[in-house]
Amino acid sequence: MRKLFVCLCIVALSGCASDPYADLPDSLFRAYDGDDVPGAAVMVIRNGEVVRADGFGMADIESDEAIGPETNFRLASVTKQFTAMSVAMLVDDGLVGLDEPVHEILDNLPAVAEDVTVRHLIQHQSGLQDYESIIPDGFEGQVRDADVLTFISNTDSLYFTPGTDYRYSNTGYALLALIVEARSGLSFPDFLRQRIFEPLDMSASVAFVNGLNTVPERAFGYSFEGDTPVRDDQSQTSAVLGDGGIYSSVNDLFKWDQALYGDSLVGDSLMTLVFTPGLSGYGFGWRIDSYNGHNRMGHTGSTRGFRTVIHRYPDDGLTVIILTNRNGPAVADLAEQVAARYL
């Protein structure tokens, strides 16, 4: 069940025969296409225009809901670019300093983290322990961002001295969400809604907490038991928002992508900093690298029932977004294969 939603061709030929993306349902996305499998939403943006937006497979197999460009998927770690931008906006407002010690903003940070700064959290240079590995035995219910701070409050060691190394840290991004709340006076979901989603008309995007709010046009996550997809949508850490809790669609992410070319979110100097690589090429919620000689900024997401990716090639005016509601495979290579047809 492949649905074609947009077909904008530079040369007006019947069936968009000149479009290098036209054969995707029979090649790259064959496994995602059908009325009994979880699928994918795919968008290609070039020079500010949606070249193609496609849906494959099902958002909700049990309810027979197909995937379209309006379908909302859990972004997993693609969320981190929104968390980092939220902090950058507070820096722009003069409410947060990038080199401000985190312990001056959040209570109960462990003594060993005295030298950890906001910038260290953003660029995965804090050395803080991964919260997933220190969830107390017997902890019931879903973990929230505030719980992450509680878990690490009693730790007495770091992986390394802050600022000297890189280690990808979901802990750091949970703490960044708490920093946004502490310095803005808003809950993290409300800050995202008021400062990013509503101004950009990302009307369906939401930082989701099960039982507290809802996701419109929601894709449910699935894992496979053999060849059978089984709904597998929430884990113990699914309510941690700063590291991976946003749901969004390719339609809304188009608006996000376009905003990143301007200064409507933060000033030019801060926007430049967002895309400046630190250790291991990590900026502010973005990995900065290259692909086939083309400058690239991107991020992947992986969580129970979802795999996601956004790759931006700003020098080429090209962006590829793939959102899937299944536990595998990873989709970064798919995004590269799509991009290769346009670069």
Could you report the per-residue pLDDT of 61-110, keeping only the tens digit for each?
999 999 999 999 999 999 999 999 999 999 999 999 999 999 999 999 99
Q: Is the pLDDT of residue 284 over 60?
A: yes
Q: Which residues contact 64 (CB under 8 A, 6 or more apart)?
A: 35, 58
Strands in the chain per DSSP E = 2-7, 40-46, 49-56, 58-60, 65-66, 73-74, 206-207, 222-225, 228-231, 246-248, 287-291, 294-303, 306-313, 318-324
In the chain, the percentage of residues whose pLDDT exceeds 70 is 92
Predicted pLDDT at 19: 64
Q: Is the pLDDT of residue 223 over 70?
A: yes
- The mean per-residue pLDDT over the stretch 294-302 comes to 98
Whether the Cβ atoms of residue 84 and residue 274 lie closer than 8 Å to each other: yes
Q: Is the peptide bond before 329 cis (omega within 30 degrees of 0)?
A: yes
Predicted pLDDT at 5: 45
- The mean per-residue pLDDT over the stretch 224-242 comes to 93
Q: How far apart are CA 215 and CA 86, in angstroms?
A: 21
Higher-confidence position of 211 and 231: 231
Span 125-184, pLDDT tens digits: 999 999 999 999 999 989 999 999 999 999 999 999 999 999 999 999 999 999 999 999
pTM over 0.75? The answer is yes
Whether the Cβ atoms of residue 200 and residue 256 lie closer than 8 Å to each other: yes
Predicted pLDDT at 25: 58
Query: What domains sit in the chain, N to C, each tagged with a CATH number?
Result: 2-79+187-340 (3.40.710.10), 82-184 (no CATH)
Q: How far apart are CA 308 and CA 159, in angstroms?
A: 28
Predicted pLDDT at 212: 80
Q: How far apart are CA 289 and CA 300, in angstroms?
A: 13
Lowest average pLDDT, out of 11-15, 135-139, 253-257, goes to 11-15
Q: How far apart are CA 74 and CA 95, in angstroms?
A: 29
Q: How far apart are CA 173 and CA 309, in angstroms?
A: 18
DSSP states along 90-140: HHHTTS--TTSBGGGTSTT--GGGTT-BHHHHHTT-S-PPPGGG-PPTT--
Binning pLDDT at 50, 70 and 90, where does residue 213 land?
confident
Whats the size of the chain, residue-wise? Answer: 343
Predicted pLDDT at 12: 26
Q: Is the pLDDT of residue 23 over 80?
A: no
